């Protein structure tokens, strides 16, 4: 019996070690299988070449020509290089060409030009090398080896394991190593925590100070808050900023000099990262009046704060985090939620009894506590705001640094607190709260101080909206004006404020006022069905029940913006639709990664149209006034963009996302009792692990993986002798996906732009089978005409005009696929740091067990007119199937598509979107064709033109493209679609 059982015992698979090197120069990654190496090569080392099949984008160049930009010009300088004074330029402006093809040029500030120096602050000669890295490449202190560091990082940062789980894992690990006489990297969770705490890197200690009321206290029944001490926890912002400046990961992602960027063709100025704005340049002009600052690096300190709730169920626990960043870091790095934005404090939240909560004295104390706390926390930066200090940067150069208070990221309530204004007034201009949209002068520190001298507190409050008995924290720092430093806030001002809280609610009020409550509810139900019936699209959030949910998030509002305008059309007047169009176009324009002066003219036009068409809500008595601070903020965006660059680098969504890592997750990991101290310790450990990764990575100690590094070390210590020629060679036993596949001719384009997914086993394997599956009887004829076009591209005749007998015949096997992926340059969207975005296009007969999903795509047209941009350069098609086949040793990746025809020569005037409808051939059959995947640019999203009819409950998202006769090309699907579908 035992022998019988042993025959059927399941063999335990062996661990397949990483043993196949990448092979790309400079890459030290290893892989288990050739298939894994191939996938890595396509993702990490793409061989990107321009494709003539893809038409030029809106800027007039192929989208793929913008995939990679060369490194910026060096920070070199002209001068004697004697080490005593900063090198200077003979001209007032230094100009350098920048970007791909020298299409841009930058004028750099000549006085604050970030000259390298030594540790003592003496400037170095031109092209002097950086200071050598004196760190030992084998020093893992306080860790014993790489395995120990990566284990700590995995368990604490990535998996967020509890103490009990870590101890159980280490016990199991020890049990597996006991027979070998070895032990796991840590003895216990306590040992791991102590090792992390001993890390010298990133060690910026938390400190605290107490604040107490010092004014007059009533003799009888004094309020309890007057005797309380409120604690403020903080970290030295100066040390934190030194960490950011010295981060090697940011060495090539910083702008060290203020600059102004222009197009080489039209001379049109454009705004991108923070240092491209006027504010940084103007501050440099002011600072450089002192000759002792010449050659320094201006570092604007960007601040942000916002209350957040971690647990409503256990007592509404609130925290008030304060964050800091620097303006030199580029916007896409700050948006990546990396260590470019750092938690530096927890502000106090004074609370008292309900009896005293509305007291004027308590409210004044609470406001002044906020400003006094900020002034105290930022005090260490003040000396270096007038006299430079020496700091080491990530490129290993030392530079003189001079700080300045930069923009403050905050929502409106926080802006009113910062600017010391009455709620309902504007923090930037002096427009009266009763009519905010009139032209008015901007607020400034000098004007406010003059009003203090000439007016009473009541006059300041009533006539100017100023809380006169408060002193802004910026008054303690040089060159700081809080009214100028209020940053634009895309999330709370535009998305949550104007769109969700104003426009969407006004539509509901309009429907009730026009149709009555009962009919309005029927219409709102139909709008919800329209939203739910929208076809799926990659990255588009679904609303199965419409918008009828109670708690909105910022992501919910962003997703609804993409489909709402088509859902309400037909139920509301054209003026309301045009109001939404103007507002959405404004949002997408100001959300761009790069904003030119021409784009700012378009922004001004959208503001004008928005103000014009929104009047319908006033004439129908839905609203009585448009003096709403969040909506009024739209007026200031053109000037704010000129000051601070593209607003997407200063949006409060950055700090909101940071709440998760810095506040919410550490709170969940705590015992919930006196949680703040535990949260501070968690954040400190996270920072130490992050700093260690940066430091070890800069030394080249983290190349490859831990396993590949161990294998390499063993191979170097014990080299394997060459095989004996008398011994037979071991055959390669890898099969299937593990076997290395030879490169096929004609697949370079496929790998560059399109990576087809795994072959589906249940799909068609021949053209007749695919014709039956798709119900396209003429598919064999279409593939013959497709082959003619591929084999004879110079033939001027259209393939459809060629007699079928003159087309090559194909009767071989095919591979059918359910999806494909495309990579394109979309820096304005949530993409990688390099601006690259990968998108999947689906063509599946069954998607998530619900129904078919056949996505639509943008296809490059055959026009040779370089003036054709946007939708004029593309056609719309629906992908019925992806497949590939080989003919004469050439592989052709293809797609069976159904074409759509454009309706009209221009977009719809109300929605701003192009309209299309399914195309038909002259014999009234659907216009179906076969195209090469290289002609596909990216996925397109279509919204049905619903009209005035109510949508049936039976229509599901997978029915959308079949159930309606005409569609809008949704340019609001994402920011890249807005660029190419306008």
Q: What is the pLDDT of residue 13?
A: 52
Q: Divide the 982 residues of the chain into consecutive groups of 10 and give the mean pLDDT of each group.
A: 36 55 68 68 53 35 29 35 54 73 86 93 90 80 94 95 95 94 94 95 92 87 88 96 94 94 88 96 96 96 93 68 96 85 94 83 92 96 96 94 97 95 95 92 92 90 92 94 95 93 94 94 93 89 67 77 94 97 96 93 97 96 94 96 95 91 92 91 94 91 88 77 46 37 31 45 87 93 91 81 86 91 74 69 89 93 68 93 93 95 94 96 92 92 94 89 95 90 86
Q: How far apart are CA 87 and CA 66, in angstroms?
A: 34
Structure tokens at 838: 């990968």
Token digits of residue 266: 């039209």
- What is the chain's length? 982
The rounded radius of gyration (Å) of the Cα atoms in the chain is 32
> Given this model, what pLDDT does residue 195 score?
96
Looking at residue 712, its pLDDT comes to 83
Is the omega angle on the peptide bond into residue 142 within 30 degrees of 0, that is, cis? Answer: yes
Distance from C-alpha of 423 to C-alpha of 369, rounded to nearest angstrom: 18
Helix (H, G, I), strand (E, B) or coil at 180: helix
What pLDDT score does 551 carry? 56
Contacts of 796 (CB under 8 A, 6+ apart): none
- The CB-side HSE value for 621 (13 A sphere, CA atoms) comes to 3
Domain residue ranges in the chain: 12-42, 206-215+224-411+481-487, 421-469, 492-644, 767-981
Beta-carbon contacts of residue 548 (< 8 Å; ≥ 6 apart): 528
CA separation, residue 541 to residues 531, 557, 852, 973, 974 (Å)? 11, 10, 18, 10, 12
How far is residue 522's CA from residue 193's CA, in Å, rounded to a whole number?
A: 59
Q: Which tokens belong to 586?
A: 């404004």
Q: What is the model's pLDDT at position 555?
A: 78
Identify whether 842 is preceded by a cis peptide bond (ω within 30 of 0).
Answer: no
């Amino acid at each position: 019996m035992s022998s019988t059982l042993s025959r059927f015992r399941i063999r335990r698979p062996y661990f397949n070690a990483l043993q196949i090197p990448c092979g790309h120069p400079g890459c030290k990654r290893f892989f288990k299988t050739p298939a894994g190496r191939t996938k890595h090569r396509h993702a990490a080392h793409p061989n990107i070449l321009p494709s003539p099949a893809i038409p030029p984008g809106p800027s007039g160049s192929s989208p793929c020509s913008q995939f990679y930009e060369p490194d910026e010009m060096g920070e070199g300088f002209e001068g004697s290089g004697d080490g005593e004074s900063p090198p200077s330029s003979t001209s007032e402006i230094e100009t350098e060409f920048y970007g791909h093809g020298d299409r841009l040029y930058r004028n750099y500030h000549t006085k604050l030009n970030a000259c390298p120096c030594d540790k003592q602050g003496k400037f170095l000669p031109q092209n002097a090398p950086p200071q050598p890295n004196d760190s030992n490449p084998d020093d893992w202190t306080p860790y014993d080896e790489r395995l120990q560091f990566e284990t700590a990082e995995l368990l604490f940062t990535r998996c967020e394991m509890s103490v009990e789980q870590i101890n159980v894992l280490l016990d199991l690990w020890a049990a597996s190593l006991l027979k070998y006489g070895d032990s796991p990297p840590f003895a216990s969770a306590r040992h791991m925590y102590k090792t992390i705490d001993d890390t010298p890197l990133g060690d910026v200690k938390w400190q605290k100070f107490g604040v107490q009321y010092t004014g007059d206290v009533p003799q009888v029944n004094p309020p309890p808050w007057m005797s309380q001490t409120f604690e403020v926890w903080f970290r030295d912002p100066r040390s934190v900023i030194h960490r950011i400046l010295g981060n090697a990961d940011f060495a090539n992602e910083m702008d060290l000099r203020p600059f102004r960027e222009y197009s080489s063709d039209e001379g049109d100025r454009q705004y991108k990262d923070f240092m491209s704005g006027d504010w940084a340049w103007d501050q440099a002009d002011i600072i450089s009046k002192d000759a002792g600052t010449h050659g320094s690096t201006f570092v604007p300190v960007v601040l942000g704060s916002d209350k957040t709730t971690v647990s409503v169920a256990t007592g509404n626990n609130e925290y008030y985090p304060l964050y800091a960043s620097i303006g030199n870091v580029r916007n896409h790095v700050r948006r990546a939620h990396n260590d470019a934005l750092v938690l530096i404090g927890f502000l106090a939240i004074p609370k008292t009894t309900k009896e005293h909560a509305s007291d004027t004295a308590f409210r004044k104390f609470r406001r002044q506590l906020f400003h006094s706390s900020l002034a105290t926390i930022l005090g260490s930066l003040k000396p270096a705001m007038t006299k430079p200090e020496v700091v080491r940067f990530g490129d290993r150069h030392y530079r003189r640094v001079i700080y300045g208070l930069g923009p403050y990221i905050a929502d409106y309530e926080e802006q009113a607190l910062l600017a010391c204004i009455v709620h309902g007034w504007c923090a930037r201009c002096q427009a009266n709260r009763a009519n905010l949209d009139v032209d008015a002068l901007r607020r400034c520190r000098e004007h406010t101080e003059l009003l203090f001298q000439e007016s009473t507190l009541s006059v300041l409050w009533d006539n100017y909206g100023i809380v006169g008995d408060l002193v802004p924290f910026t008054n303690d720092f040089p060159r700081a004006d809080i009214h100028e430093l209020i940053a634009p806030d895309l999330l709370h001002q535009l998305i949550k404020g104007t769109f969700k809280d104003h426009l969407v609610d006004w539509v509901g009020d309009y429907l009730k006022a026009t149709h009555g409550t009962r009919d309005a509810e029927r219409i709102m139900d139909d709008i919800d069905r329209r939203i739910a019936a929208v076809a799926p699209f990659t990255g588009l959030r679904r609303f199965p029940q419409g918008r009828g949910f109670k708690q909105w998030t910022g992501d919910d509002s962003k997703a609804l913006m993409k489909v709402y305008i088509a859902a309400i059309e037909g139920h509301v007047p054209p003026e309301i639709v045009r109001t939404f169009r103007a507002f959405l176009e404004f949002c997408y324009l100001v959300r761009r990664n790069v904003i030119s002066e021409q784009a700012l003219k378009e922004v001004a036009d959208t503001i004008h149209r928005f103000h014009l068409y929104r009047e319908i809500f006033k004439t129908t008595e839905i609203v009585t006034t448009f003096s709403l601070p969040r909506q009024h903020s739209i007026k200031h965006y053109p000037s704010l963009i000129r000051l601070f660059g593209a607003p997407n680098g200063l949006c409060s969504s950055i700090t909101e996302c940071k709440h998760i890592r810095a506040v919410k997750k550490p709170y969940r990991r705590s015992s919930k009792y006196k949680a703040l101290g535990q949260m501070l310790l968690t954040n400190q450990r996270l920072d130490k692990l992050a700093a260690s990764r940066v430091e070890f990575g800069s030394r080249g100690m983290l190349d490859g993986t831990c396993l590949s590094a161990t294998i390499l070390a063993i191979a170097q210590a014990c080299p394997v002798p060459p095989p004996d020629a008398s011994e037979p060679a071991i055959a390669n036993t890898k099969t299937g996906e593990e076997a290395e596949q030879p490169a096929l001719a004609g697949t370079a384009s496929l790998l560059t732009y399109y990576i087809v997914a795994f072959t589906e086993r249940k799909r068609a394997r021949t053209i007749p089978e695919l014709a039956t599956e798709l119900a396209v009887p003429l598919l064999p004829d279409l593939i013959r005409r497709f082959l003619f076009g591929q084999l004879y591209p110079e033939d001027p005749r259209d393939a459809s005009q060629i007699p079928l007998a003159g087309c090559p015949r194909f009767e071989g096997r095919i591979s059918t696929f359910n999806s494909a992926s495309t990579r394109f340059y979309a820096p304005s969207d949530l993409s990688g740091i390099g601006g690259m975005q990968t998108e999947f296009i689906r063509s599946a007969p069954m998607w998530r067990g619900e129904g078919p999903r056949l996505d639509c795509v943008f296809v490059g047209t055959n026009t040779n007119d370089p003036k054709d941009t946007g939708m004029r350069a593309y056609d719309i098609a629906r992908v019925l199937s992806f497949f590939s086949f080989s003919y004469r040793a050439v592989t052709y990746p293809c797609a069976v598509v159904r074409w759509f025809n454009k309706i009209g020569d221009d977009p719809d005037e109300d929605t701003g979107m192009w309209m299309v409808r399914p195309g038909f051939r002259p014999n009234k059959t659907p216009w179906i064709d076969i195209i090469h995947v290289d002609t596909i640019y990216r996925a397109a999203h279509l919204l049905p033109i619903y009209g005035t009819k109510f949508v049936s409950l039976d229509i599901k998202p997978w029915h959308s493209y079949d159930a309606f006769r005409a569609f809008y090309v949704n340019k609001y699907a994402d920011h890249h679609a807005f660029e190419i579908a306008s």
